[in-house]
Amino acid sequence: MHLNKRVVVTGGCGFLGSHLCDRLVNQGHEVICVDNCFTGTKQNIRHLLDDPLFEFLRHDITFPLYIEADQIYNMACPASPIQYQHDPVQTIKTSVHGAINMLGLAKRINARILQASTSEVYGDPEVHPQPESYWGRVNPIGLRSCYDEGKRCAETLFFDYHRQHSLKIKVARIFNTYGPRMHPNDGRVVSNFIVQALKESPITIYGDGRQSRSFCFVDDLVDGLVRLMISSDEITGPINLGNPTEFSILQIAEKIIALTGSKSKIVFKPLPLDDPRQRKPDISLAQKKLQWEPAVPLEEGLKRTISYFDQLLLSE
């Protein structure tokens, strides 16, 4: 039984944030979705707007927020390379100023706060799979560093607030996640390939397609976030959340072509700068501390995502 809480979700109009809002409202919590709609869209939460448990607040968390709540999920930040490189300064401000503002709020109102961190804190890893104890290998001045270093700095701030002010913190390191409501043009592997396959356009693979990723379906990921939030105070994280089953980019492309019955051909292009060769979470900590592991197989998750994009393209 969940005791009903007042929960703030920053970035609540985004892909992950909107699914998290759904889950919390379904559990009977009062949810305040905070978003400036820089990359998120109101379309993602439209079905919640009439729900008495749900409230939408248009606000940029790089500015302070004064609000009452029991829990804060800090999900706000552009999360795909196309989005975060569009305005790198705003990206780092969202990660750093945003974290300072949300931590300040949590401290004032004595709320528990969760940071949506990222596997990008590991950079291009020399250790595989990546455990939470690995410190990472990140280029501090590269094209992706506005995101990588912004998220690393946010983790620093969370732990400093925890040590200095005894704030109740949770830090989740999120690995590749996919599912309905992904932005069709955000340049991520799954959404890119699905949109290209449905339009029968060539499927573009950067590099030779042998680089690997692990893909977690959004429902599984949200389940991990909620479990982390309600776990005991001494479980601060950082905790990896993601799917440890690894696929090459080429395998994903071939699977999507098969599932959509598309006639798309695969074309290869040069690999972008600082693109990690492999990414795979070690989730033994999440299994042990949260009794969490992903349950949705890739094929089922892809089918649900394809049907979402199919509808989206039809409505356009």
The model's pLDDT over 156-175, given as tens digits with 9 standing for 90+, comes to 999 999 999 999 999 999 99
In the predicted model, is pLDDT for residue 275 greater than 70?
no
In a domain, 35, yes or no: yes
| Cβ neighbours around 219 below 10 Å, total | 18
Distances from the Cα of 2 to the Cα of 24, 40, 287, angstroms: 10, 28, 22
Could you tell me the CATH number of the domain that includes residue 11?
3.40.50.720
In a domain, 68, yes or no: yes
Domain that holds residue 226: 6-178+217-242+276-295
Percent of the chain with pLDDT over 90: 85
In a domain, 75, yes or no: yes
* φ, ψ (nearest 5 deg) of residue 26: -60, -30
- Quote the mean pLDDT of the chain: 95
In a domain, 223, yes or no: yes
In a domain, 43, yes or no: yes
In a domain, 289, yes or no: yes
> What does the block give as tokens for 24?
């919390």
Give me the active site residues, please.
147
In a domain, 254, yes or no: no
Residue 124's pLDDT band, with cuts at 50, 70 and 90, is confident
In the predicted model, is pLDDT for residue 1 greater than 70?
no
Q: Which residues contact 96 (CB under 8 A, 6 or more apart)?
A: 150, 153, 154, 157
Read off the pLDDT of residues 205-225 as tens digits, 9 standing for 90 and up: 988 999 888 999 999 999 999
Picking from 183, 207, 208, the residue whose alpha carbon sits closest to that of residue 274 is 207
Task: State how many domains the chain has.
Answer: 1
The DSSP call for residue 281 is: B
In a domain, 67, yes or no: yes
